[in-house]
């Protein structure tokens, strides 16, 4: 097993942005799931309100990690336009998130945390492309 470590390291190092995106995304998703559970599971708030507020909190965690760590974009001169585009993409994600979690949890009777996890993975694929090629594109 240890003899494969250099090859594994090389493969991961060549895909650094993807690996970091996944780690940052898992952190944001964990934040989202934690607050969704807190709002819905502990405090019994409305599902859509709970999912929406958890999404907003995770938004700020995600923007910070993706901009500064994943895509190493430390330029401050474009932060407001990046934040605006990120926010518009997040609003789109929020609408898709609310619709899909309602569909999965209410219509298909899937446990709401599992539904949120499934929806988060689907939105993650879209987000990577938008972040890499539009929002944090390096010129």
How high is the pLDDT of residue 94?
87
The pTM score is 0.69
For 46-71, the pLDDT digits (tens) are: 999 999 999 889 988 999 999 999 99
Burial of residue 105 (number of CB atoms within 10 Å: 0-12, 13-18, 19+): buried
Distance CA 73, CA 118 (A): 29
Contact between residue 36 and residue 113 where contact means Cβ atoms under 8 Å apart: yes
In angstroms, the first-to-last Cα distance of the chain is 40
DSSP annotation of 72:
-
pLDDT bracket for residue 10 (50, 70, 90): confident
Region of residue 72 (phi > 0: left; psi between -120 and 50: alpha; otherwise: beta): left
Higher pLDDT, 63 or 137: 63
Is residue 137 over pLDDT 80?
yes
> CA of 65: how far to CAs of 14, 25, 48, 57, in Å?
19, 9, 25, 13
**CA-to-CA distance for 23 and 46, rounded, in angstroms?**
29
Closest CA to 91 of 130, 121, 65: 130
Q: What percent of the chain has pLDDT over 70?
A: 96
Q: Is the pLDDT of residue 1 over 70?
A: no
Q: Are 113 and 91 in contact (CB under 8 A)?
A: no
Q: Where are the alpha helices (DSSP H) in 1-139?
A: 5-14, 16-36, 47-65, 79-102, 112-130
If one counts every other C-beta atom within 10 angstroms of the C-beta of residue 50, the result is 23
């Amino acid at each position: 097993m240890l003899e494969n470590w250099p090859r594994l390291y090389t493969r991961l190092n060549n895909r650094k942005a993807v690996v970091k995106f996944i780690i940052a995304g898992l952190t944001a998703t964990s934040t989202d799931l934690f607050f969704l559970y807190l709002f819905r599971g502990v405090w019994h708030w409305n599902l859509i309100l709970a999912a929406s507020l958890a999404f907003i909190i995770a938004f700020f965690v995600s923007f910070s990690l993706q901009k500064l760590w994943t895509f190493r974009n430390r330029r401050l001169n474009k932060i407001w336009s990046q934040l605006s585009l990120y926010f518009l993409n997040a609003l789109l994600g929020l609408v898709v998130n609310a619709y899909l979690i309602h569909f999965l949890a209410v219509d298909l009777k899937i446990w709401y945390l599992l539904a949120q996890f499934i929806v988060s993975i689907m939105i993650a694929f879209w987000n990577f492309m938008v972040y890499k090629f539009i929002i944090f594109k390096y010129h």
